[in-house]
Amino acid sequence: MNLYRCLAWPLVRHVDAETAHRLTLKLLASGLLPSQLFSSPARRDAPVLATRLFGRALSNPVGLAAGFDKNAEVPDVMLGFGFGFVEVGGVTPKPQPGNPRPRVFRLEEDRAVINRMGFNNNGLEAAARRLEARREAAQRSGRDGIGLVGVNLGANKDSADRPGDYAIGYERLAPLCDFAVVNVSSPNTPGLRNLQGRDELNALLARLQPLRDRLKRPLLVKIAPDLADEDLNDVAKLAQNFRLDGIVATNTTIARPATLQSRNSRETGGLSGQPLFDRSTAVLKDLYRLTGGRIPLIGVGGIASGAQAYAKIRAGASAVQLYSALVYEGPGLVGRIKAELARLLKRDGFASVAEAVGADHR
């Protein structure tokens, strides 16, 4: 039985989305919401799910996307729900409140969410303090942790030097994490997506490359699902030229599919969830072809089942991430996705996730 759907969702759906999210984070951080309440007890992942990302071992390829834990408050709690890796953020150098509320809208009929948050967060130093405390606790206990934790980097809305913001964020936070993602694809900061253009992205990556070479921390870029074919080709070429460690595909979309039914579909912002699945997977598949499978890709957008995670992997994803589906299904979804993914891999004769990556291209 999905206790979240039976017990929590009837209450959650009557609270505005941002308030519900904030209360959830407080409960998770307090330790008063044990993982066993809404998910299966912790168990060892099926061996077929084991894989590697950035040269590091993962017990499974299912990750939590950026946006849930903006201020790095509960990364280990979320790993405890069964994620193989977690991405905190987006984090900007200076604290900023983001856009006016309301700014998060559920599209329940469409199993989707629209947000126009605007990189609201407590700033780089607040995240750094929590990540430093996490690292020190791990050192004291003699453990490395149960999964990878990455950071999503953003630029301040009022910044006169947005590439500089990413450089500041990477230099400060990357040493405290397992990987860093340069988010140039949020639709909620005016002009930010311009950094995906060929010249702008080339200049940004040129600024970051010396830091990456010195700090030796994996550097990825997160792109939009709304890129034209020419722009996607440029991203693929630059990712290879600068030897990026990965591409996250994709962020939310500004498109509004004709199939949307919710009255909230008219809200401005980035659309995530089920309606994004087809487009984000098509972008992922194109990126795998354009890069020849030489760069790890993380598939994001519309995943709510093991079959959809498997489709992303077959399209070219080395790992996947989800977030919006948790709003409707709760954290028990992670275990269900992993179980279904393991069955599908075994059904098709794959001994590991890595064997299935890009299978649709063969």
Q: Is 268 annotated as a binding residue?
A: no
Q: Which long-range contacts (CB under 8 A, 24 or more apart) does 101-106 make?
A: 101/18, 102/16, 102/18, 103/18, 103/269, 104/16, 104/17, 104/18, 104/21, 105/17, 105/264, 105/267, 105/269, 106/13, 106/17, 106/262, 106/264, 106/327
Q: Is 158 annotated as a binding residue?
A: no
Q: Is 161 annotated as a binding residue?
A: no
Q: Is 1 annotated as a binding residue?
A: no
Q: Is 90 annotated as a binding residue?
A: yes
Q: What DSSP string runs through 302-334?
A: S--SHHHHHHHHHHT-SEEEE-HHHHHH-THHH
Catalytic residues: 186
The answer to whether the Cα torsion of 306, 262, 260, 316 is positive or negative is negative
Q: Is 324 annotated as a binding residue?
A: yes
Q: Is 310 annotated as a binding residue?
A: no
Q: Is 188 annotated as a binding residue?
A: yes
Distance from C-alpha of 61 to C-alpha of 18, rounded to nearest angstrom: 28
Distance from C-alpha of 62 to C-alpha of 320, rounded to nearest angstrom: 5
Q: Is 157 annotated as a binding residue?
A: no
Q: Is 121 annotated as a binding residue?
A: no
Binding site as annotated, residues for FMN: 66-70, 90, 152, 183, 222, 250, 273, 302, 323-324
Binding site as annotated, residues: 66-70, 90, 115-119, 152, 183, 188, 222, 250-252, 273, 302, 323-324
Binding site as annotated, residues for substrate: 70, 115-119, 183, 188, 251-252
